[in-house]
Amino acid sequence: MNIPHKYHLFSLRAKWLELTSAATWFRASLASAGLAIVLAGCSSTPAKVDRGPIPARTFSFVNPASPPAARWKPVHAMIQEAITTNLAKQGIAKADGGGDVTVGYLLVVGNNASIVSVSDYLANSEDPDKLVDKAHAAYTGSKNPNYFEAGTLVIDVIDARSFKLLKRGYTTRPVLRNPSADARAANIQAAVDDILRDLRVTP
């Protein structure tokens, strides 16, 4: 995940914030770094969900309870643009509100010692702390003795009428240092495409 360095997400001094098909080169980079982040699932807050083909032609993002902090707005814009691009290719168009499905997401960025999370667009029905705890345990429990920085993005697709969670996926990627704008956008798009690669839409 590529978050501008000025947001200080990559420092060992980063403090907890309140509330959490990969390309070959990515898999190779994780293997070489000894980094294999897996969010363990549980019945109450599963890390992955797939309830089959989704009957949707439109989607809208979760309406946050309050406006996100100004410093996070560029990050949200990049993530939402990537999600919109992916779903459009699958025949699901963005709506300002009232879509067939609602899309929420959680961003967690961390290292061997600490993590920060951004949950503005996670559905209110979800407990972000549980997902964040899973990411924290996975990061700090890594056997990699070297310092590493990685970002985890979790995406939810929710039925707008029943509020049932239809699809959840996540991916973890190394953080790129000082990437160009194009490289940052490409990395975020690749992360979103990885999460939604097996999304099935009802014809």
Mean pLDDT on 14-40: 36
CA distances from 52 to 7, 162, 167, 168, 174 (A): 37, 16, 8, 11, 30
**Does residue 121 form part of some domain?**
yes
**Does residue 200 form part of some domain?**
no
Lowest mean pLDDT among 26-30, 61-65, 174-178, 197-201: 26-30
**Does residue 203 form part of some domain?**
no
Q: Which domain holds residue 89?
A: 5-195
**Does residue 131 form part of some domain?**
yes
The domain tally of the chain equals: 1
**Does residue 202 form part of some domain?**
no
pLDDT > 70? residue 7: no
**Does residue 60 form part of some domain?**
yes
pTM score of the predicted model: 0.73
**Does residue 59 form part of some domain?**
yes
pLDDT attached to residue 138: 61
Across 61-92, b (16+ Cβ under 10 Å) vs e yields: bbeeeeeeeeebeebbebbbebbbebbeeeeb
Q: Between residues 18 and 98, which one has the greater pLDDT?
A: 98
Read off the CATH number of the domain in which 170 is found. 3.30.160
Q: How many CB atoms lie within 10 A of CB 196?
A: 20
**Does residue 161 form part of some domain?**
yes
Among 84, 115, 82, residue whose Cα is nearest residue 187? 82
In the chain, the percentage of residues whose pLDDT exceeds 70 is 63
Kind and range of the H or E element at 45?
none
Mean pLDDT on 52-76: 92
Question: pLDDT tens, 67-97?
Answer: 998 988 988 999 999 999 999 999 999 999 8
